[in-house]
Structure 1
Amino acid sequence: MPGLGIIGVDIGTSLTKAVVFDESGMSIAQASTPSEVHHLPGGLVEQDLEQVLGTVATVVREVVAGLDTPVTALALTGQGDGLWLRDAAGAQVRPAISWLDGRANALLAKWQADGVTREVFSRTGSGMFPGCTAAIMSFLDAHESESLDRAVVAGYCVDAVVQRLTGEITVDVSDASLPFLDPATRHYSEQAIDACGLSHRRSLFAEPAEPKAVFRLNADGAALLGLPAGLPVTAGPFDLPASAIGAGVRAPGDGILTAGTTLACQVLTDSPVFDPEGEPAGMFLSTPTAGEFLRAMPAMVGTASIDWVCRLLGIEVAEIGGLLAAAPPGAGGVRALPFLSNSGERAPFVDASARAQFAGLSLESGRAEVVRALCESIAYAARHCFEAAGLSGRLYACGGGVRSPEWTQIFADVLGRPIVIPGDPGVGARGAVIVAAESLGVPVDVELWAANSRTVEYRPGDAEFYQQGYADYQASLSAARGLWRL
């Protein structure tokens, strides 16, 4: 089939991907290249905007070189949260601060004690964690105010790239949701901004773009990418809602599990109403469609935990599947809590001091038991997130973690429901392209695009076994939360 001519670019934390799809939603050209993530002492995690822009140029030029049809548009998505400070020309005034960053750990703990997180949550439905824009900005305001003084815009990854490619200062409504957007009005809550002590920095927040906004590649962007000036560019939604759209989430109650660097659990809802007295965690995301929202619980316990256990045990990621198969459900009595991030946890609860643990180890425990215990604990965390998000319908899944059949089966068994896996892994880029096509008036059969998938059924016997395992996980988590300290 011929391609749509729209290049979807997903600017992830560690990898940038470009994909071109045919009219049935299958990729016909793709390219990827790594981004540099700088882990610095004290839990600091930063990225360089110029290097990230270079990755975008690399993948776009590579896919264009392999196409025999003209490019009609560029559709961008990418990582959310963090803080990408720029000047009027789009140049960074300091390195971007990643959503993985932990410099605001103590500040977040203070906000929790002082009721700031509760106040913001009650107005926006979004919790805060150390790597969110509000916490990082407040930290810089106190400790590095000159960076904020030099900045013209405080934004996110996708809009930072858009500014450099088009000259426009903008932000997608999904990114703007975090954490200051009132989902009912799709405008910022001034009270939430004031609660974080950032009213004097209000001018740094770009107003959310209108739905179906289309920008144009300027001369500098065209030169960088090797594409014609004036090419249409769409910006967002960011990677979590883009993946939901790309995977096929359509009906309220349906959800998606993204087993990537973040273990993102999202559920679609048609109501902007949330419980202001609930746990102040997760995100309430506005989507490109008016009247549709995503209740997102993006836990910090994704595939980065697998990378850690591989380094610890001296194994390759490719060995994970065999080790999971070598240990039975329950991992021979070994149990884990998976909270390995330096910035703790952000969903379905927020605690900057959250840390991992293993229990039930003995001299008979080996690599297989340790790996399986960790993977089971991440699946338990997913169940915890989906219970908080209100999953009631069909469940989709994507991300590097579901490339492992063994781990995907554990997710299905722990969640006790079938999991639909899209046939093409580039669901974030696919979602961005669907949004771009709708914005440009290009017909797309979204049901056809979602049809190419497979379903992993859960095993009733193992699902019953994991009921007790999940109860044990919850008990261990409750006990551990009373012992964590920064």
Structure 2
Amino acid sequence: MIIGVDIGTSLTKAVVFDRSGVSIAQACTPSEVHHLPGGRVEQDLDQVVGTVATVVREVASAIDGPVTALALTGQGDGVWMRDEHGNAVRPAISWLDGRANALLAKWQAGGVMREVFRRTGSGMFPGCAAAVLSYLDEHEPEVLDRAAVAGYCVDGVVQRLTGEITVDVSDASLPFLDPATRHYDEKAIASCGLGHRRGLLAEPAPPRAVFHLNAHGAELLGLPSGLPVTAGPFDLPASAIGAGVREPGDGILTAGTTLACQVLTDSAEFDPEGEPAGMFLSTPNVAQYLRAMPAMVGTASIDWACKLLGTEVQQVGSLLAESVPGANGVRALPFLSASGERAPFVDAAARAQFSGLSLEHGRADIMRALCESIAYAARHCFEAAGLSGTLYACGGGVRSAEWTQIFADVLGRSIVIPSDPGVGARGAVLVAAESLGEPFDVELWASNSRTVEFVPENVDFYQRGYADYQASLAAAKGLWRL
């Protein structure tokens, strides 16, 4: 009985699966996300660790038999600063944070982003570790002086539970890891002016590393001391593994808070002169990587629109059905994040827009235009990532049959959707089982799925709509200002 825990930005989930990959117990509880002036977004490590304890205790009490391991995954990026005991030296800075917007614009203009991309294949954005650490080095150097490690959400929880200072190779990938060697590129670190803070970066753990609950972690979770714990990969690659992505060229669309588009590759090579955006993620398999294009906003855009339009998320499907492909002439760009966009291009000043509106349009047209624009953004990301095989999907967005159909039609591809929504936890559990030497049947786990087929006539329509989207994007870029 392996408990999989997915520590998301706003929700922590724990799931236990049977040997066929069907969930038999699950629990969830919200995490607090603090949105502060100036585009700052922070979280409290103690509160997040508390959510892990809550869901683990709940599912452990609901299963028959002893827990054999704990498999952790969760949100990536941002900076979670801790001392040698695992205590936060300041509130965690989320991947959503925008305080480093101006710094990133400076790096973009000065060639720093291009230099790091040439060395690691990963772009940077305001909420990535490099930008946040550089900002703190200038504005809060005393915090960095007190810290023992500048890590991420998952390894922050791991340190609390096991006492180990570590980081998974997937988290470490952005932006300083050389994917070919799986070691930090020292020149990439130096180019960001962080050579003197190099000691804050934990060395990546070896593939399929196993840790163990210490006395404090055991007491917190109500589980035996010494219980095996695995830590990663973080939620993007964990979701790919959990959904069934196995072959190079296969991809996964995650319609969650982030709109994450990933494609599996068996080559560490990348175009150093390409657009310096996205992530080149190492996976538990040393011969495989994920080319990730995680756009900043997915379902967060829908939440915003629902609040603005005075409707509920549960009504989104019916609103989409009330409009038609093309939203009766309403068009949108979906860049609603205060920190701009990070994939498939990087621009801290990127902002959303709606056009073509008149008094004849209603809520349904606005909602459909936004959902279509997010699907166009997904197509843009997958073109950059090199999708050529089977496409899988997960996340809260694909619970809407109407929005999922828009994705399939815009992408011109059938979409395979796992029947169990907890694919991040599924991926973490599959990795844990293999790490412990008792792997599950991955093909059996992947067989619990359904397929959404595209509608050919809609594909033709959206081909023209995508061309209009690209034209609108090109025109808008010249107007964006910080």
In 1, the alpha carbon distance for the partners of 2:348 and 2:217 equals 39
Alignment of 1:354 onto 2:358? no
User: Secondary structure of 1:442's match?
Assistant: coil
User: Secondary structure of 1:421's match?
Assistant: strand
The answer to whether the Cα contact below 8 Å between 2:306 and 2:313 also exists between their aligned partners in 1 is yes
User: Secondary structure of 2:16's match?
Assistant: strand
Letter in 2 for 1:109: A
Tell me the number of residue pairs that the alignment of Structure 1 and Structure 2 aligns. 482
Task: Give runs of aligned pairs for residues 66-465 of structure 1, distance below 5 A.
Answer: 66-465=62-461
- The CA deviation string for residues 94-138 of structure 1, in whole angstroms up to 9 with x for no partner, is 000000000000000000000000000000000000000000000
Aligned residue for 1:6? 2
Q: Using the TM superposition, give the Cα deviation of residue 301 of structure 1 relative to its aligned residue in structure 2, in angstroms.
A: 2.2
User: Secondary structure of 2:28's match?
Assistant: strand
In 2, the alpha carbon distance for the partners of 1:67 and 1:348 equals 43
- The CA deviation string for residues 288-313 of structure 1, in whole angstroms up to 9 with x for no partner, is 00110000000012100000001101
Aligned residue for 2:481? 485
In 1, the alpha carbon distance for the partners of 2:251 and 2:180 equals 21
In 1, the alpha carbon distance for the partners of 2:21 and 2:342 equals 33
In 2, the alpha carbon distance for the partners of 1:302 and 1:432 equals 23
Structure 1 gap segments, 5+ residues each: none
Q: Using the TM superposition, give the Cα deviation of residue 442 of structure 1 relative to its aligned residue in structure 2, in angstroms.
A: 1.1
Aligned residue for 2:41? 45
- The CA deviation string for residues 36-55 of structure 1, in whole angstroms up to 9 with x for no partner, is 00000110000000000000
Q: Using the TM superposition, give the Cα deviation of residue 443 of structure 1 relative to its aligned residue in structure 2, in angstroms.
A: 3.0
In 2, the alpha carbon distance for the partners of 1:212 and 1:264 equals 24
- The CA deviation string for residues 327-381 of structure 1, in whole angstroms up to 9 with x for no partner, is 0000000000000000000000000000000000001010000000000000000
Percentage identity across aligned positions?
82
In 1, the alpha carbon distance for the partners of 2:64 and 2:268 equals 44
CA RMSD of aligned residues (A): 0.3
2:466 to 470, 473, 476: 470
Q: Using the TM superposition, give the Cα deviation of residue 218 of structure 1 relative to its aligned residue in structure 2, in angstroms.
A: 0.2
Any runs of at least 4 consecutive aligned residues in structure 1 with deviations exceeding 4 A, and if so which? none
In 2, the alpha carbon distance for the partners of 1:145 and 1:405 equals 49
In 2, the alpha carbon distance for the partners of 1:321 and 1:71 equals 39
Structure 2 gap segments, 5+ residues each: none
- The CA deviation string for residues 151-210 of structure 1, in whole angstroms up to 9 with x for no partner, is 000000000000000000000000000100000000000000000000000000000000
Q: Using the TM superposition, give the Cα deviation of residue 69 of structure 1 relative to its aligned residue in structure 2, in angstroms.
A: 1.3
Letter in 2 for 1:228: P
- TM-score using structure 2 length: 1.00
In 1, the alpha carbon distance for the partners of 2:297 and 2:141 equals 32
Letter in 1 for 2:181: T
1:26 to 18, 22, 29: 22
1:62 to 32, 43, 58: 58
In 2, the alpha carbon distance for the partners of 1:351 and 1:152 equals 32
